[in-house]
Amino acid sequence: MSQLTRVDEYLHTVPLSGATGQQIGPFTLFRSTTVWPYYARPVPGSGATIEPADVERVRERCQELDLPLNFEWVVETCPSLGPAAAAAGLQVTEYPLLVLEREDFKRVITAARCEILPADEDLLRQARAVAAVGFGDPGTEIGSGGPAERDAQLGDVSAEMAQALLDRANAGVSVTAAAFGDDGMLASGVHQPVGSVTEVVGVATLPSARRQGLGAAVTSCLVEHALANGVELILLSAQNDAVAAVYERVGFHRIGHAGAAE
């Protein structure tokens, strides 16, 4: 089985830890059973050529269910979806898609303390707050958001969200790592194992703490944990080429593109 096929099948399975799937033509629409929304994906291996009418059928069902209309896919395994989504009026974006296997891993160490977090609500809240600040000012440039902004975000992490994060951590479907400095938690990230494959998601650094290797160090910590727990293939998608270069320091290499449309 090719890496792209394994990645595509993983990406079609991983939402089921927080959603149920409904078949709509060549797509599976994942209906969330937790606090965040999901998306529709083309069924792996179907070989279907996606038409704008297929996209419209999903749009109609999302309207019936009062769900946001989002699609995610691996561009190389379903090249027709991007043009069909654009023709249906959706905004289409492609991101670098990268993978890592055990022999590729390059451990990254920084002065910061990096560790896998226990299933602790306060720590998971902090990790979520770090991500909110980091993704609020995307990219790799140093910015102004720091510990004060992180702490201010804590109040925006609802009790429902905190419980969902805790439940996923206890179930082992979400593993969080963080980097700590003198000002507390500075970077965080997650991996989501399903069998022998996992995806690294949500790696973020407080903008004021960037350019210290913290994103690479958190990713390295997540990879090390995954490899020690039966994972053979690790994937991720990067926001842009500059962010992809951070992951390449850990040993990831590009195999294609992740598509998104909304």
104-150: pLDDT as tens digits: 999 999 999 999 999 999 999 999 999 999 999 998 899 999 999 99
Strands (E), the chain: 19-24, 27-32, 40-42, 71-74, 92-101, 113-116, 175-181, 184-194, 197-205, 233-237, 253-261
CATH of 102-254 given 3.40.47.10, 3.40.630.40, 3.40.630.30, 1.10.10.10: 3.40.630.30
Q: What is the pTM of this model?
A: 0.95
Q: Report which of 18, 20, 80, 27 is spatially closest to residue 58, judged by C-alpha positions.
A: 27
- Residue ranges per structural domain of the chain: 3-90, 102-254
**pLDDT digit string (tens) for 232-254?**
999 999 999 999 999 999 999 99
Strand partners, 41: 28
Give residue-wise pLDDT tens across range 220-230. 999 999 999 99
- 73 three-class SS: strand
Q: Which amino acid is at 208?
A: S
Give CA–CA dist 91/44, Å, rounded. 22
Query: CA 156, 171, 147, 250 torsion: positive or negative?
Result: negative
